[in-house]
Amino acid sequence: MEFSQHDEDNNYSLTKFESMLKTNNVLFFDSNEFENIIQFYFENGRMALAKKAIKLGLEQHPSSIVLRLFQVEIYILEDKLPQAEKLLDELYILEPSNEEIYIQKASILSKRDQHEKAIDTLKIALKLSDADEEDADLYALIGMEYLFMDQFENAKTYFIKCLELDMEDYSALYNIIYCFEFLDLNEEAIDFLNHYLDKNPYCEVAWHQLGKQYATLKDYPKALSAFEFAIISDDTFVGAYLEKGKVLEKMKKYEEAIENYNVTLALDEPTSFALLRIGNCYEKLGSDDLAVQYYFKTVHEDPLLDKGWISITRFYNKKKDYQKALYYINKAISIDAENVRYWKLYAQINHRLNFIEEAERGYKKTLDLGNYELDTWLARTDALIKLGEYEASALNLIQAAEFYPENAEIEYRLAGIYFTLFENEKGQYHLKNGLLIDEDYNFILQELFPLIADHQMVVKIISNSKKTSK
């Protein structure tokens, strides 16, 4: 029997137990009372109190199988697997047909990554089970074991069995859709959800999931209809308004999108996501003042949300107000100095302002944080060239070539750098490489190394290459 706060007897037991803990007077409870108290604490995540109740329960009822199974559960949660196993072996001798023993054994096997054995053990529990509710729980546990092994087809089969026994098990429904998505079976997911909705037409969760599937397939009118049905089923469903807003944005219906995002702000605490989306919609509508107001509200609501700071910075970037853009990206970096996107923007803005040393520092930090995009390597190289740091720029390009071998933009830059350093043999090697890969990129020499580009030896190599290619 599950503990319910609305059940007067159980509520009395809980009050009595907590009062006993405060006074240190040991009172007697029957084993059922202990079971309900412990179950309540488990369900509410109050593990310290659950452990106290188990300890006292076993002192008063040392032979209770159920209380000892609760003790097993605590051992498993605390990763005390040998103790859990020992106690389960004792309980198995006393009650070999108790399905809960097999469920806990399966939990231990799962923790040890022995998922196939866990499934076999859960299937034994399934044979011993004689109630639909227990069967549904077991199907869900088997489904989870298959998920751990990335066997999505098998997992889906068991979550469907689970849902067939309990149509309102939304956790199983989410897991089924997760499996469909992982298998790239969006059309099949849509069919499944439509069949489910035939039986349960007012299920807002299913309508919401159906809308997301249509949105993935870019069928925005159908997605919109599904989200509207989710809202009809539950007009306080914040997720449906958010998704509807996103779809309306895709359809370029920005005013309607804003209306839906505003509903979420009225229904619940403001979310940085909704505020950011409203800002983006206003920017698309050309309402710059409102857009930037909402971007500031976004970062006020969640200073760690990088998309908020990036939106503010890009807003001022587009306005060519680079000083303000730099101010806000610096503010973002002061909050999160390990955010690679911030450093890339910091570098680009400094580059535009011709603060080359700061730009180079930004590109280096971007690379150090793992952004290995070609344009980052090249931008850092160009900054180092402007600073006259030719050895450092060559080293930077050699590292870049490990990620982007046979790249003309890298080769022409290396050619220019080596010619500048009077290492003509290396310069010729890289220039010829560049011409072999793509001779159209030789303009890079003229842009970055105009004196080198006009050098007789360089002109001759390029000219010979053109003749050869003809």
Q: Evaluate whether residue 67 is within a structural domain.
A: yes
413 and 350 in a common domain:
no
Indicate whether 9 pLDDT > 60: no
Of residues 222 and 35, more confidence is placed in 222
3-class state of residue 7 by DSSP: coil
Q: Evaluate whether residue 458 is within a structural domain.
A: yes
Domain encompassing residue 88: 28-96
Band (19; pLDDT cuts 50, 70, 90):
confident
Region 271-285 average pLDDT: 95
Reading the block at residue 76, the tokens are 């498993």
pLDDT of residue 3: 41
Q: Show which of 61, 79, 96 is a domain's final residue.
A: 96
Cβ pair 441, 378 in contact under 8 A: no
| Cα 256 off chain centre by | 28
The rounded distance, in Å, linking the Cα atoms of 103 and 142 is 10
Region 174-183 average pLDDT: 94
Cβ pair 397, 414 in contact under 8 A: yes
Q: Show which of 343, 368, 393 is a domain's final residue.
A: 368
Radius of gyration of the chain (CA): 32
pLDDT of residue 27: 75
Indicate whether 190 pLDDT > 80: yes
Report how many domains make up the chain.
Answer: 3
417 and 364 in a common domain:
no
- The predicted-structure confidence for 46-56, as pLDDT tens digits, reads as follows 888 888 887 88
295 and 334 in a common domain:
yes
- The predicted-structure confidence for 389-404, as pLDDT tens digits, reads as follows 999 999 999 999 999 9
One-letter identity of residue 64: S
Q: Evaluate whether residue 426 is within a structural domain.
A: yes
pLDDT of residue 6: 44
Where residue 304 sits, what CATH number does that domain have?
1.25.40.10
- The predicted-structure confidence for 319-370, as pLDDT tens digits, reads as follows 899 999 999 999 999 999 999 999 999 999 999 999 999 999 999 999 999 9
**Angle, CA 43 vertex, CA 39 and CA 49 arms, to 5°:** 65
Indicate whether 75 pLDDT > 80: no
Q: What is the DSSP string of 388-416?
A: T-HHHHHHHHHHHHHHS-S-HHHHHHHHH
The closest alpha carbon to 344, from 326, 363, 328, belongs to 363
pLDDT of residue 277: 96
401 and 356 in a common domain:
no
pTM for this structure? 0.73
Give the Cβ contact number of residue 58 at 10 Å: 17
417 and 336 in a common domain:
no
pLDDT of residue 7: 54
432 and 349 in a common domain:
no
pLDDT of residue 2: 44
407 and 332 in a common domain:
no
pLDDT of residue 98: 83
401 and 359 in a common domain:
no
Cβ pair 208, 196 in contact under 8 A: no
Give the Cβ contact number of residue 136 at 10 Å: 19
Average pLDDT over the chain, rounded to whole? 89
In terms of phi and psi (left: phi > 0; alpha: psi -120 to 50; beta: otherwise), the region of 113 is left
In terms of phi and psi (left: phi > 0; alpha: psi -120 to 50; beta: otherwise), the region of 7 is beta
Q: DSSP character for 89?
A: H
Region 165-194 average pLDDT: 93
Reading the block at residue 35, the tokens are 């079971």
346 and 396 in a common domain:
no
Q: Evaluate whether residue 35 is within a structural domain.
A: yes
Q: Evaluate whether residue 40 is within a structural domain.
A: yes
Region 262-270 average pLDDT: 91
Indicate whether 427 pLDDT > 80: yes
**Angle, CA 424 vertex, CA 420 and CA 427 arms, to 5°:** 75
353 and 312 in a common domain:
yes
Q: Evaluate whether residue 330 is within a structural domain.
A: yes
List, in order, residues 6 or more apart from 131 with CB less than 8 Å away. Answer: none
Q: Evaluate whether residue 447 is within a structural domain.
A: yes
428 and 359 in a common domain:
no
Cβ pair 126, 140 in contact under 8 A: no
420 and 394 in a common domain:
yes
Q: Evaluate whether residue 70 is within a structural domain.
A: yes
Of residues 256 and 59, more confidence is placed in 256
